[in-house]
């Protein structure tokens, strides 16, 4: 019987230790973290937030040089994003989320340190730095933020707000809300970006054709989402003035392709592709129909 008693005692000891470990290793969460939309990965407000969060002034739009490193296409979680290379008209509706103390003091895409109490935000494609008005469509509150970071990288989210911006918009408790994001173009940049504004402010983005007309084409890029293809198309038309009239977007095989053409034959398309390779970082592909 003694071995059996010893075994029972050891089992009881192991169970007790496991129970203790489970209790002591459970992370503490801020109040309300278990509610829908609660703090992600123990993110949340700082320990000593300023008492005047409501009085923090909105960001003040001004002209700033775009950081070249943030204007290149990039891929996250298999999704390719094509940032705008200059401040231009933009308006979209979607879900806003926020990030707080977990990232406070860490470097943003702009190279600046993230300040959860500053009026800033992260966006996948808006120019960095740039400014945008964010309006909570549920309560009508509106703020102006400075875009200085990339994200969020979730298909169901449009913008990540600083803690201060989210607080002023009234979305801290819920964690997220439906907003409208509209880019702000400083007055002294409006003329320089007029061609992009006119294209972006058209009533409807042109629908991609099911199939290109017969001919030879130079494929500049292919994307899984229509918006990224459209952003890239606008960028190519702005940067490649000699080619802009022939650039169009087509949808086929689940992809949105940006092509230049059509050209009379493959040789003519090849000459265009060679010029692009010499003057840009593009790696064009010849397509014939």
pLDDT tens digits, 185-197? 876 455 444 444 4
Phi, psi of 10, deg, nearest 5: -65, -40
Calculate the alpha carbon distances from 155 to 32, 133, 144, 277 in Å.
Answer: 25, 21, 23, 33
Residues 57 and 158 in one domain: yes
What value does the mean pLDDT take over residues 232-240?
A: 83
Q: What percent of the chain has pLDDT over 70?
A: 74
**Backbone phi and psi for residue 65, each to the nearest 5 degrees, phi listed first:** -65, 135
Q: Is residue 73 assigned to a domain?
A: yes
CATH number at residue 264: 3.30.70.1070
pLDDT at residue 103, as a whole number:
76
Query: What does the alpha-carbon distance between residue 270 and residue 217 come to, in Å, rounded to a whole number?
Result: 9
Contact 96, 163 (CB under 8 A): no
Q: How far is CA 121 from CA 97, 131, 144, 233, 273, in A?
A: 10, 9, 10, 25, 38
Average pLDDT over residues 18-43: 36
Element containing residue 226 per DSSP (H, E): helix 226-239
Q: Sheet harboring 285-288: ordered strands across?
A: 247-252, 255-263, 216-223, 285-288
Q: Is residue 3 part of a domain?
A: no
DSSP 115-181: -TTSSEEE-SSS-SSEEEEEEETTT--EEEEEEEE-----TT--EEEEHHHHHHHT-TTTSEEEEEE
End-of-domain residue from the set 189, 206, 239: 189
Residue 21 forms part of a structural domain: no
In whole angstroms, give the CA distance from residue 223 to residue 219.
11
What percentage of the chain carries pLDDT values higher than 90? 33
Q: Which of 196, 201, 229, 241 is CA-nearest to residue 88?
A: 196
What's the domain count of the chain?
2
User: 264-269: long-range contacts (C-beta < 8 A, 24 or more apart)?
Assistant: 264/215, 264/216, 265/216, 266/216, 268/216, 269/216, 269/217, 269/218
| 80 within a domain of the structure (yes/no) | yes
Q: Domain with 169 in it: what CATH number? A: 2.40.40.10
* Shared-domain flag, residues 177 and 46: yes
State whether 52 and 180 are in the same domain: yes
Are both 225 and 179 inside the same structural domain?
no
Q: What is the per-residue pLDDT for 211?
A: 66
For 243-282, how does the pLDDT look when each residue is reduced to its tens digit (9 = 90+)?
Answer: 888 898 888 777 888 999 899 899 999 999 998 888 887 8
User: Between 76 and 2, where is the model more confident?
Assistant: 76
Is the model more confident about 44 or about 153? 153
For residue 148, give its domain range.
40-189
Half-sphere exposure of 24 (CA within 13 A, CB side): 6
Is the pLDDT reported for residue 171 higher than 70?
yes
176 and 53: one domain?
Answer: yes
Q: What is the mean pLDDT of residues 46-71?
A: 84
Q: Are residues 111 and 163 in the same domain?
A: yes
Give residue 111's region: left, alpha or beta (phi > 0; psi -120 to 50): left
Name the residue with tokens 């509150």: 141
Of the ranges 27-36, 68-77, 110-119, 223-232, which one carries the lowest mean pLDDT score?
Answer: 27-36
pTM of the predicted model over 0.85: no
CA distance 16 to 91: 58
Q: Are 133 and 142 in contact (CB under 8 A)?
A: yes
Of 173, 189, 205, the residue that ends a domain is 189
Residue 20 lies in a domain: no
Given this model, what pLDDT does residue 223 score?
A: 85
Cα 86 versus chain centre, distance = 15
Q: Are 108 and 159 found together in one domain?
A: yes
- Does any domain span residue 8? no
Residue 263's alpha-carbon distances to 98, 208, 239, in angstroms, are 48, 19, 20
Residues 75 and 180 in one domain: yes
Task: Clarify whether residues 230 and 134 are in a common domain.
Answer: no
Assess contact for 166 and 44: CB atoms under 8 A: no
Q: Which of 174, 189, 204 is the last residue of a domain?
A: 189
């Amino acid at each position: 019987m003694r071995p059996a008693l010893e075994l029972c005692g050891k089992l009881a000891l192991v169970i007790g230790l496991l129970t203790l470990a489970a209790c002591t290793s459970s992370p503490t969460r801020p109040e309300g973290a278990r509610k829908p939309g609660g703090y992600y990965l123990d993110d949340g407000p700082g320990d000593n937030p300023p008492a005047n969060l409501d009085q923090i002034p909105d960001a003040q739009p001004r002209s700033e040089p775009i950081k070249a490193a943030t204007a290149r296409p990039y891929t996250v979680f298999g999704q390719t994003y094509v940032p705008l290379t200059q401040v231009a008209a933009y308006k979209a509706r979607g879900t806003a989320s926020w990030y707080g103390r977990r990232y406070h003091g860490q470097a943003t895409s702009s190279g600046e340190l993230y300040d959860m109490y500053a009026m800033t935000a992260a966006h996948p494609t808006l120019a960095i730095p740039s400014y945008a008005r964010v309006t909570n469509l549920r309560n009508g509150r509106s703020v102006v933020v400075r875009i200085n970071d990339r994200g969020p990288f979730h298909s169901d989210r449009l913008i990540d707000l600083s803690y201060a911006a989210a607080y002023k918009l009234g979305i801290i408790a819920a964690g997220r809300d439906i907003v409208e994001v509209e880019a702000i173009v400083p007055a002294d940049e409006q003329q320089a970006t007029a061609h992009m504004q006119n294209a972006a402010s058209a009533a409807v983005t042109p629908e991609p054709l099911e199939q290109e007309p017969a001919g030879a084409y130079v494929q500049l890029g292919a994307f899984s989402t229509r918006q990224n293809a459209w952003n890239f198309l606008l960028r190519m038309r702005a940067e490649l003035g000699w080619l802009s009239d022939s650039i169009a977007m087509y949808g086929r095989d689940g992809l949105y392709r940006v092509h230049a053409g059509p050209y009379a034959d493959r040789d003519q398309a090849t000459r265009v592709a060679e010029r692009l390779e010499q003057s840009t970082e593009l790696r064009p592909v010849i397509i014939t129909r």
